[in-house]
């Protein structure tokens, strides 16, 4: 069953290619959703796929940016099905 994960990443996550790398990881795993910089310095990510694929996605993001991420807030939801690809929002 497809799920949605809504994640807020805190730390030094802006200005390091975070959103673009997250998009590459998502596209590699065929995940739909988006990533966006927030005014408070965090990055917000919404992603939809099978739960196991999302867990792999979260693990890859954490591994790639472990020295930049100081805080992560996650909320699991039912997939909305509204996304056709993974994009970057501004």
List the catalytic residues.
Answer: 19, 37
Cα dihedral 46, 90, 66, 77, rounded to 10, equals: -10
Phi and psi of 34, rounded to 5°? -165, 165
Phi and psi of 52, rounded to 5°? -65, -35
What tokens appear for 15 in the block? 């200005």
């Amino acid at each position: 069953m497809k799920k949605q994960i809504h994640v807020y990443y805190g730390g030094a996550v802006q200005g390091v290619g975070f959103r673009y790398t997250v998009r590459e990881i998502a596209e590699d795993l065929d995940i739909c959703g988006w990533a966006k910089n927030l005014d408070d310095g965090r990055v917000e990510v919404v992603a939809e796929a099978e739960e196991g694929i999302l867990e792999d996605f979260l693990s890859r993001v954490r591994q790639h940016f472990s020295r930049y991420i100081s805080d992560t807030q996650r909320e699991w939801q039912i997939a909305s099905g509204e996304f056709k690809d993974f994009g970057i929002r501004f």
